Copies of this chain bind each other. A is one copy, B any other.
Amino acid sequence: MALNPPLNRKLRMGIVGGGIGSFIGRVHTIAAALDHRCELVAGAFSSNPEKSKQSAPDYGVDESRAYGSYEAMLDAESRLPADQRIDFVSVTTPNHTHFEIAKAAVEAGFNVVCDKPMTLDLDQAEQLLKTVENSDVVFALTHNYTGYPLIRQAREMIMAGELGKINAIRTQYIQGWLAEKLEATEHKQAAWRTDPAKSGVAGAFGDIATHAFNLGRYVTGELPDKVSCHLKAFVDGRRLDDYGTAVIRYKSGALGTVTASQISHGRENDLEIEVDGTLGSLRWRQENPNEMIVRKNGQPHQIYTRDPNADFTKPLAASSSRIPAGHPEGFFCAFANIYLAAFDDMAKRAEGQPFERRDTVYPNVYDGVEGMMFIEQCVKSSEQDAAWLTLSHSAART
């Protein structure tokens, strides 16, 4: 793992979200600070100023920097001296708020790390893209599963041609927590994730299928052409899809499938990818992320483990590991890898050095646009009896 970070100080983080009871906000704070390169110093932890203040001690944040709104945080922090002011804003609130917060933060000159899906719809995403392009900030999107070392290994192997030409990409993301109508109970997560006003036009497809789609894109670099999709809400009265299958035709002729479910009893967070190339195939599952199977006809199957010291491990995969093989790294480490890569660019920016805007190691605003297009076109295709719709966007990167 890269030691000696380029900046001779920790980066300063301000979070929006993460108040008491939050899941993903807390994940961001742990991931960002994991490698001693960042310190959480400010937060709009809740839109309720009282609650925001109550959350500050959990993070060792000074109460004076626990704000009651993102606007207050951006405003106050902007006026602090440069050597105290936050370097970046992490946006960890429900989907419908991402756009305004991220846009404001970018416009105020702060780097941004935004949770996915990036915005509520494609139109917002394209606007945000312009805003970012017109700025000089670092913008990262936490498609966190691309931070797993073996996912990076998969990408590096495929980019090096080790699997040959890619024919098929099968992804599944299977959960079960919404098998019952939790949104009819007091369950906060279920409530906003099944509410079109807060979640957007898609349910499971916005929440998890985007991850699966993004993973296939990241690992193979294949550019999508068209999509045909079937969505269902199996739970009576649910307003957004909780199940669906999309078939994707890639420009190269490759064929992809994305299946997502939130109604599969007992299934936890089972994101899985299988890739078939003309020279080999691979398979990886998020729930057991420290191994990946690579197969070639006529040879014993190979289990690649997350092993930073092995010759077979590719450079980015190796530098994405913190500890030796056999010492399981999990969700936080992968998440932290997204942050680490963004920190490298933030440090460059802070020091006035040039940095990559488009082909970044971490998912960025371009991936965000593409993700929003995926969601919208899947929903439209499903409404049109699984019609084939375009999935090609100029912002897509390889």
Task: Report A's interface with B, CB cutoff 8 A.
Answer: 3-5, 8-10, 20, 23, 26-27, 29-30, 33-37, 39-40, 57-60, 167-168, 170, 172, 174-177, 179-180, 228, 230, 232, 234, 243, 245, 247, 249, 253, 255, 257, 259, 261, 263-270, 274, 276-281, 286-290, 293-305, 307, 310-312, 322-333, 385-386, 388
Contacts and interface: CB of A to CB of B under 8 A. Distances in A.
Nearest to A276: B264
B60 A37 contact: yes
A196 to B, nearest CB: 21
Contacts of A264: 168, 274, 276, 281, 295
A23 B386 contact: no
A8 B39 CA distance: 17
A287 B327 CA distance: 7
A297 B331 contact: no
A279 B176 CA distance: 11
A277 B265 contact: yes
Given A168-B264, A328-B288, A385 B386 contact: no
B281 A176 contact: yes
Contact of A23 (B180, B290, B324): B324
A210 B196 CA distance: 39
B279 A265 contact: yes
Interface centre among A9, A286, A301 (most CB of B within 10 A): A301
